[in-house]
Structure 1
Amino acid sequence: MKKKNIRILSIALITAGVFSSCSDQFLQDKKNYDNANADSYNYYSGALARVADIYMWCLPDANADPSWKYNSTGLADTQAKSTEEYSGFGVFVDPDAELTYQQGNNPVPDYFHGSSGNIQTMVWGRIRNCNDVIRGITNSTLTQEEKSKLLGQVYFFRAWCYYNLVKWYGGVPIIKEVQEIVSGSVVPRSTTKECVDFICEDLDLSAELLAPFTTNGGWTSSDFGRVTSGTALALKGRLLLLYASPVFNRKNDVTRWEKAYEVIGESIATLNACGYGLYNENNPGANASGWANIFSTVEGNSEAVFVTLYNTLASASSADFSKNNAWENGIRPSNTLGGGGKTPSAMLVDMFPMSDGKKPGSTTTYTKLASSEISYDSEAPFLNRDPRFYRTFAFPGVRWKFSGDPRNEKNNNPYNGSEYELWNYVWYTTETDRDNVESGSTYGADNLLGNAKGFYIRKRSDDADVNSPRYRYEAANGFKYSANPYIELRYAEVLLNYAEAACGAGHMDIAVEQLKKIRTRVGYTGDCGLQSNLLSDQAACMAAVLYERQVELAYEGKRFDDLRRWMLFDGGVEKVAGAPDSWTLTGWGGNTCTYLGFTPLNGQRRDNLEFRVNNSNKNGLGGKEWAIGGTNPDPLYGVATRPAAIDLTKDLSTQQTGLKNFYATYLTRKKKKGDAYTSDKGEKYMKFYPKYYLLGLYQGAQNANATLKQTIGWGDYVNGGANGTYDPLAE
């Protein structure tokens, strides 16, 4: 975003800090710890500051792992590492460590409570903060127009806080007022339906209040990033889709799908009126460059329905507020002076569609979807793939331009940023390491050496071939100071939500129409690679929608939620201890995986991949370091002539052959350890326990409020560990 935009909001944040400061002493003394003096709300600047404080505490953060405060955003966090996107056994799929409610006994992540003692460190403190601002503005002397403009934003964030609770726990306490800190201020868990209805009410009110300010093209540029009527209705659609999904809808009650379909369909007109739409819809660009540009555009970005903004400032000052996005630095290879890169799992690399839009024939999941007639070459996985493949992954022999020059006396990378080519093939120094899938003694070309990744995640990159970079490159800090936005909810997801709801409601034609819009934007034409029976086969159509979500939204923090919603770890067939018959999945033939033709993730493992120098070239062995004036450790140095790296600004059809021949002559694909092995080298496999679909409360929450009932399937802290009695599926 432009510096002026973040500055306007930041001045308000600094002001808000005066109002929202709260010490443990206030809590201990049970004194009034309202976040602002009532009179401060009578001034628009004071009320605006309090709303800015809500943004500060409630916006998603691209740099944070999931917690009570933040949702998953695409990092290799505990949730993403429980999907096909990464390997390494996130806590939800670790076969050796079942989660419990108990402190010190592999406790379940606490998304319900947080830390007691300060409203700024707990879930319910955020909600209290929203309630305090709603009360303060409602009772103020501001004009009705001013109240509506501000309250519409706060009602959205209260709904956002509740959405992030309900998606994990189902029903939670509904608190609409600021409560006094007394022993009687406790509220029991409501039903899931009551919570869904409450969130919808807040979002409808938000949309109504914000309509006069945002449905005529959205906010002005100085307020870009604030939520709108479209944002509110988009979140409502996501919520209703969740409520219609198998995890909450075991009988496949079609009325829930119809409700989601109706609401999302009607919301699209409001979203369009707020200025939202598919960004670069009519400009796919070379190899989906128009799509890649979404993730680095701020002003004029019609895709950004719910967005967090960042800047390039190095530190806070009296005039502004430092807020950097660490994603670009994290995904860039070490020889660019980036953070070293992020490693995708081979499972997802191999699963991406081919250039005709169909899944690779080697893919053993999504069996109800037609396989491509284009042969998949796992030894050259870059050949003939969906355009988004090249914008999602980086591999040996691809151009990845940036603005900066990392070359110095300590970095023997031969490329400056404008010419940068990624050559991350690797070698080993001993035959034992070379042939050991668990060996980490890998060395990479162009001074990557021990910091090489076999494949890199490129998704959401601020690619200098696509746009003017939004980072401030420094030799000492690389891409650290980046102003790339993070989009939590984008217009393409709204269309995918619409497609899924339409399919669930039996309107497969509408679902296919949305899929075509998504694919046309990245360069597909005609039937966009979608098989004809999607119009008549509801299961195949739903599988196509979920596959498209997995591709379009990869590394955006959405996949784990989709896997849970659809119970795709086991198909929903495993039973939760003590659960009533109403928990038995009877819709979708009693098994969502079988219904969709999806191979359950339980019992599978994810490994990584790399391309090492093959044994025909110095036995695939090389050195450990590259000293100035010394021997180049690369075993291909002086032996192989590299072809031109693939340039995504140009047509790929004439570029791939040379790189393929280089791979075939000099490299071989090696399986690289992803998920863990046993001590005797046996492979371990993912295990997601059925009770994880609906999380239990960590003991700290029940310790703080003994009236809270524990979720069925989880030990109840206040009842000596007995099975919980709260039923998230009961209405």
Structure 2
Amino acid sequence: MKKIYKTLLWCGLLLVTAAGIFSCSDFLDKEADAIVAEGEAFKTFTNFQGYIEEIYNCIPDKEKNYWTTSWNWGDDEVFNIEGNWHMTNQVDLGNFWAWQAGRLSQPGIWLDKPTTSPTSTNKFEHALWPHAWYSIRKVNLGLANIDKLIGTEEQKNLIAGQLYFFRAWWHFEMMEYFGGLPYVDQVFPADKAPMLPRLSYQECANKAGEDFARAAELLPIDWDKTTVGTKTAGKNQLRANKIMALGYLGKNYLWAASPLMKNGASLGGGNTYNYDDTFSRKAAEAFGQLLALVESGQTQYALVQFDYKNIYDHEEADGVTSKFSDIFYTMGQNWLMPGSTEAIFRGPSTDVNGSNWNTTKTFGPKVEGIVEHDNIIHQPTANYVKFYGMANGLPLNDPASGFDPAYPFKDRDPRFYHDIVFDGFKYVNASMPADMEYLRYAGLHSNGTMRGATNGSRTGYFIQKLVPHTANKYDGAYNWSGNLHIYLPYMRLADIYLMYAEACAAFDGAAGRATNFSKTAEDAINTIRDRAGAGHVHASYTGNREKFLDEVRRERAVELSFEGYRFNDLQRWLLLTEPPYNVKTSQEFDRLENVDFFKENDPKDARVANFREVPILTRQFGTRHYWFPLKVADVSMYPEFAQNPGW
């Protein structure tokens, strides 16, 4: 590819905004092949870092990868009928081939695309599959030439650490969907396919683990505190560091420990609690090291606050310096990238106003154009919303929970009110034309004003965790003046606590803990619940390993809802094929209050009748659906690169 590094100094890309340290325009003007052949890319730290920056640029943005996109493929979400071409619905149909470019108008667009460009600043031109193989080759070229770098020990460690991190990261991201792959850790001729056999998942995980561990040894906790990083202080947040490497080291081992990876694909769910003990312990140690660093104040990371004076409008309490919604979107902050102190790993997201074409317009009702543009709506399934238990910490189906179907929205986990739009919710705050007033309060009861399958909610709920409900025609949060910027991190600190809890519980239940961190699995879960103001895990769930694991899994469902984790969780737990996780439902009920009630009262206090779930669809999955099919062209290259079973 000619002039492949030409745009590495893209001024909007956070990673390279400080031209004083990474200015290499003369280097960038050279032909890519000539650069590598001459070794120019590898001679100085400036040039070598410029070579690596392109890998950061390749990281796909799941939310903004197309005008409308889809990334929640578990039991968590459905689209309105017009959105059925999206990958979520194709997964519902069992059409896992749809991830590939050229099939059904590319519904799996963040995984694959017909045209991609590593140097492009266009968010639409990045996808996982093509960029992964490209970046892995780029990493291996860099490692093969690292001896050419003339620099300090710190500079050499920074370069090598980033390369090892990215070789493991790109392999891991593909492994989540496709299983064990050839682990490419050497340079092959560009015109020949590497004739490497596919490894088992756990064999791949061991190799990725070695790379993540090397990266953790070589990289600093905070680039701002390095000699190199001081020159770009305040602009180093996206650079690979020790905490990222430890987080992915633990995640890599936890995934390898998980029931699917240990036992293979199977039906019946009989192995859902059967983890690999060795990998679980290795995961716990990696997470434990990370969390010990965080809780001792040695890192730049911390859990954000969950303290609201108006939770429905995400209006933080007085004195709050970081709020939960800042992880996912920012408003009125000059397009500040979301994540706050909790996001650990993110790719670039510097397209000013790019969130509003059209992600911020795909979460609310389209009735009468109340949310504008494409008639596509992400909406949570009723079966998934049930995971949001009661404020006392108990699940809804626990007889002691206090859940009352006559008042189904009362006394719920505080995150329910932050994340979910339910019946009677004040959807529009601003003034509206008189003939539109009937849409001010969400009509999400059966046959309500926002329940149309075409332009409303099929399930009785909307999502406002990732995009605020004020992103509508009248409140105008998605207008230019709102500075609304959304981005989903690939990894955040709360997820580390939850993965730590799962890894420890896998080998020792609620009392399990790592040797290098003081908290038990139970403590880790309760840390997250304390932040949200939800009750601790009840004693009735801590004495039994399997019941406690069920609570760990429910906590993941709530805390990490709609962030793109659920499909891979159900997959690795061997629950993707199993009821009730293969059923998507709607919430049906009769509204007993008139609209004046909602003008004067909190919608959570509304009384309803005939509260019940109704199935929308049941997924007909077999064991082959535990892995996506590989491309036919790829598995035809040589016999050792075999197709996944059943495809």
> In the aligned structure 2, how far is the partner of 1:507 from the partner of 1:491?
22
CA distance, structure 1, for counterparts of residue 35 and residue 633 of structure 2? 24
**Aligned ranges for residues 518-529 of structure 1 at < 5 Å?**
518-524=528-534, 528-529=535-536
Give TM-score, length-normalised by structure 1: 0.66
In 2, Cα distance between equivalents of 1:102 and 1:452: 29
Q: In structure 2, what is the equivalent of residue 344 of structure 1?
A: 380
2:502 and 2:552 in contact (8 A); partners too: yes
Any stretches of 5+ residues in structure 2 without a counterpart? 1-9, 119-125, 264-273, 317-322, 331-336, 512-519
Alpha-carbon deviation of 1:54? 0.7
Per the alignment, residue 301 of structure 2 pairs with 276
Match of 2:551 in 1: 544
Distance 1:16 1:114, change over 3 A: farther
Q: Which runs of 5+ in 1 are unaligned?
A: 27-31, 66-73, 315-321, 362-369, 428-433, 435-441, 572-598, 615-635, 647-651, 676-684, 716-731
Deviation at 1:425, TM superposition (A): 4.6
Cα shift readout 1:327-362 (whole Å, capped 9, x = no counterpart) = 43322444554556422112122342022221113x
Aligned ranges for residues 241-640 of structure 1 at < 5 Å?
241-250=254-263, 252-272=275-295, 273-280=298-305, 290-296=323-329, 301-311=340-350, 313=352, 326-334=358-366, 336-338=370-372, 341-361=377-397, 370-377=398-405, 381-399=408-426, 413-414=436-437, 421-425=440-444, 443-444=449-450, 451-453=455-457, 454-462=460-468, 473-474=479-480, 482-509=484-511, 510-524=520-534, 528-570=535-577, 599-602=579-582, 605-609=583-587
State the distance in 2 between where 1:450 and 1:224 align: 41
- Write the deviation string for residues 568-609 of structure 1: whole angstroms up to 9, x where unpaired: 1346xxxxxxxxxxxxxxxxxxxxxxxxxxx4534xx31334
Pick closer, same or farther for the CA change 1:382–1:216 going to 2, 3 Å: farther
For the residue of structure 2 that corresponds to 1:343, the secondary structure is: strand
1:116 to 1:324, Cα distance in 2 relative to 1, 3 A: closer
Q: Cα 1:672–1:424, aligned 2, differ >3 Å: closer, same or farther?
A: farther
Once the two structures are TM-superposed, the CA of residue 493 in structure 1 deviates from its matched residue by: 0.6
2:134 corresponds to 1:125: yes
Q: 1:98 to 1:294 in 2, by over 3 A?
A: closer
Pair 98,325 (structure 1): closer, same or farther in 2 beyond 3 Å: closer
- Give how far 1:424 is off: 3.3
Which secondary structure does the structure 2 equivalent of 1:515 belong to?
Answer: helix
Question: CA, structure 1 residues 295+503, in 2 after alignment: closer, same or farther (shift >3 Å)?
Answer: same
Q: Is 2:99–2:112's contact at 8 Å kept on the other side of the alignment?
A: no
Amino acid of the residue matched to residue 291 of structure 1?
F
Per the alignment, in what secondary structure is the counterpart of residue 398 of structure 1?
coil
Bigger Rg, structure 1 or 2: 1
CA RMSD for the aligned pairs?
A: 4.7
2:619 corresponds in structure 1 to 686
The 1:132–1:188 alpha-carbon spacing in structure 2 relative to 1, beyond 3 Å, is: same
Contact 1:291 1:522 in 2 (8 A): no
SS of 1:376's equivalent in the other structure is coil
Per-residue deviation, residues 399-439 of structure 1 (Å, max 9, x unmatched): 4578xx6868xx96459xxxx95433589xxxxxx6xxxxx
How much has 1:397 moved relative to structure 2? 2.4
- Counterpart amino acid of residue 581 in structure 2: L
Q: Which amino acid aligns with 1:424?
A: G
Number of matched pairs:
570
For 1:144, the equivalent position in structure 2 comes to 153
- Whether contact under 8 Å (1:499, 1:511) holds in the other structure is yes
Partners of 1:198 and 1:52 in 2: CA distance = 24
Give the Cα–Cα distance (whole angstroms) in 1 for the partners of residues 628 and 341 of structure 2: 35
Paired amino acid for 1:359: P
Structure 1 residue 689, shift from structure 2 partner? 1.1
Aligned counterparts of 1:687 and 1:487: Cα–Cα separation in 2: 31
Identity %: 21
Q: Equivalences for 1:651-690 in 2 at 5 Å?
A: 656-657=604-605, 660=606, 674-675=616-617, 685-690=618-623
1:91 deviates by: 3.6
Q: Secondary structure at the match of 2:344?
A: strand
State the AA in 1 paired with 2:456: A
Distance in 2 (CA, whole Å) between partners of 1:101 and 1:396 is: 35
Give the corresponding residue for 1:198: 207
Q: Retained in 2: the 8 A contact 1:310–1:482?
A: no
Deviation at 1:101, TM superposition (A): 12
CA distance in 2, matches of 1:92, 1:472: 30
Secondary structure at the residue paired with 2:489?
strand
Q: Aligned pair in 2 of structure 1 residues 75, 498: CA closer, same or farther (>3 Å)?
A: farther
Q: 1:240 to 1:33 in 2, by over 3 A?
A: farther
Instruction: Determine the C-alpha separation between the residues in 1 that align with 2:552 and 2:384.
Output: 17
Per-residue deviation at 1:278?
1.6
Shift, 1:483, TM fit = 2.1
Answer yes or no: is the 8 Å Cα contact 1:569–1:600 preserved in 2. Answer: no
